[in-house]
Amino acid sequence: MWRPNIIHRRSRWHQNNMGELRLRRRENERALRQDRRDRQLLSKRLLLYEEETEATMETASREQDVVSLLCKLQRGGSAKEILLKALSKVLRDPAAQLSFIKQENSVHVLVGLLTGFDAQCRLLAVRCLHELSYSPDTNVTSACMPATPYLLTYLSGQTTKFTEMCLYTLGNLCLASKAVKEKLLAQGIIPALASCMENQRHNLAVVEAVAFTLSQLLQTRDSVQEIVSIVMASSLPSHLLSFLTPDSEFGLGAAIECAWCLHYLVSSSEDHRNLLARGALLHCSSQLVTLSVAVTQRKQQDKTELLVCPLLRCVGNLLYFCPAQDLSKHVAIIQLVDALCVLLNTYLHSSPSLARETAWVLNNLTAHSTKCCSAVLTLNLVSSLIQLLPVSQGINTMVCGTRSSTSLFLRSVSACFQSFFVVVVSCFSLWIILRS
């Protein structure tokens, strides 16, 4: 008699244990996904040089000795340029980077050359610091902090190549640690970036570098309170919006970086009215319409999807904070609905994740305003949306939401017509009675 009870208790314990194992596995998978997402987003950037190839850089890093190069630089002489070029190649090696920062006054030697009168030595010193900033070791990147005040100062009035390298070096250093980021904020990195973007607005290579550095600051987890409010109080949001239109000669680089910065601002900021007042929803939605036209005419540039993704997220998030009665002031509704359907069908097979983002925005749009539902009916898009219902990847769920919003709109319109018809019939009947 006791054996079944024991078995029952054991099975119950087994079920509870399995439930705990499933919960731990889900938490572990969630942590792994978050870690992978952070590594993909918080990425550093290394500038390659036209006069060098990867093979020569690897060979040079094996042949040179960082200690001897540093000693020769400390002695001085006329061969500083040659020594700095060799040192920049050596510093591609992680072991050489650690060896370099362990040497006494090694970074201060680079800072001294950075603040000197020789322009070529300044450029090569920044190149060495740039190599160090790319290191995954936080000890290496933190060792570069004595150079940051000068890097910020040099963002104004220097050559394009020099300014670019300073910006990408600062962008890499932003990820070193919280202490490094706080020091950069105290040194005025946000006003320096705003001034640089304003002064170099005709140089899209520098604009792209500024947006990259800003995106590195905005992506950090503790950026909401510390950084976003400072950025929103500056002129940076307006500058970012003005560079959303791609340049036919330069390409999409600057527009992509600016769009991602705007996405981080929209996701983190609490002052969405400020963004709406600056025309964020209008600019982003208009750019989506322009890109959809280019896609339809097959005139889109390479990597257009990298620009479409942040624009979709900006529009989808800003819709929630835009009053329905003011939506037509910020969005060309019919054109945007048509553009979303074009992008949805374009990326349905080539990029399902982007198609899902597009369907999500379309769902938000139709749920937010009856005018958008009317646009879906006006453009005869219901049948094409129904054809997407068998599609998986979460796209069918979003399409169902769009279809249900449109159906509710149709029902409300039908109910209004029915009420209107009843009123007309009643008035007509009353008129006949009065005449008789």
pLDDT tens per residue, range 92-124: 888 899 999 988 889 999 999 999 888 899 999
Backbone angles phi, psi at 349, to 5 degrees: -105, -35
Q: What is the reported pLDDT for 301? A: 78
pLDDT of residue 148: 94
pLDDT > 70: percent of the chain: 69
Any bridge partners for residue 251, and if so which? 247
320, β-bridge pairs: none
**What is the greatest pairwise CA distance in the chain?**
118
Please state at what angle helix 305-319 crosses helix 333-346, rounded to 10 degrees: 140
Let me know: does 337 contact 379? Beta carbons within 8 Å: yes
Do the beta carbons of residue 368 and residue 405 sit within 8 Å?
A: no
How many whole angstroms from its chain centre is CA 75? 45
* Structure-block tokens of residue 18: 């399995």
Pair 368, 325: CB distance under 8 Å: no
Give, in degrees to the nearest 5, the angle at Cα 310 between 398 and 34: 80
Q: Write the pLDDT tens digit of every residue in 270-302.
A: 888 899 999 999 999 999 999 999 888 887 777
**Cβ count near 124 (within 10 Å):** 23
Residue 276 burial (CB count, 10 A)? 18
User: Ramachandran region of residue 159, left (φ > 0), alpha (ψ -120 to 50) or beta?
Assistant: beta
pLDDT band at residue 236 under the 50/70/90 scheme: very high
* Cα–Cα distance measured from residue 130 to residue 303, given in angstroms and rounded to the nearest whole number: 27
Instruction: Answer yes or no: are the C-beta atoms of 377 and 337 closer than 8 Å.
Output: no
Q: Is residue 262 part of a domain?
A: no
Q: What are phi and psi of 321, to 5 degrees?
A: -100, 0
Domain that holds residue 113: 55-148
Let me know if residue 143 belongs to a domain: yes
**138 lies in some domain:** yes
Q: What is the DSSP letter of 1?
A: -
Q: Is the dihedral of CA 149, 217, 163, 207 positive or negative?
A: negative
pLDDT of residue 203 exceeding 80, the answer is: yes
Residue 173 is predicted with a pLDDT of 92
- The mean-pLDDT minimum among 24-28, 91-95, 215-219, 387-391 falls in 387-391
Measured between alpha carbons, how far is 99 from 76 in angstroms, rounded to an integer? 21
**Mean pLDDT (whole number) for 13-34:** 60
Share of the chain above pLDDT 90, in %: 32
Answer yes or no: is 269 within a domain.
no
Closest by alpha carbon to 263, among 310, 224, 298, 216? 310
**Contacts of 118 by beta carbon, 8 Å cutoff, 6+ apart:** 80
Neighbouring CB atoms inside 10 A of 229's CB total 15
What is the rounded CA–CA span in Å between residue 97 and residue 42? 21
**Does pLDDT of 225 surpass 50?**
yes
Most confident of the ranges 16-30, 71-85, 158-172, 415-429: 158-172
Specify which residues 247 forms β-bridges with: 251
Structure tokens at 144: 């570069």
Q: Which of 295, 228, 225 is nearest to 263 (CA)?
A: 228
Amino acid identity of 237?
A: P
pLDDT at 364: 78
Lowest average pLDDT, out of 116-125, 218-227, 355-364, goes to: 218-227
Q: Is the dihedral of CA 140, 143, 145, 151 positive or negative?
A: negative
Whether 116 maps to a domain, the answer reads yes
> Quick one: 220 exposed, middle or buried, by C-beta within 10 A (0-12, 13-18, 19+)?
middle
CA of 370: how far to CAs of 19, 130, 282, 311, 320, in Å?
A: 45, 53, 19, 23, 14
Name the token pair of 98.
Answer: 């650690």
Across the range 344-353, mean pLDDT stands at 82
| Per-residue b or e along 319-340, where b marks 16 or more CB atoms closer than 10 Å to that residue's CB | beebeeeebeebbebbbbbbbb
pLDDT at 423: 37
The number of distinct structural domains making up the chain is 1
End-to-end CA distance of the chain: 92
Amino acid at 38: D
Q: Read off the pLDDT of residues 402-421 as tens digits, 9 standing for 90 and up.
A: 444 444 433 443 433 344 33
Torsion, Cα of 285, 291, 297, 298 (10° steps): -150
326 in a structural domain: no
Q: How confident is the model at residue 431 (pLDDT cuts 50, 70, 90)?
A: very low
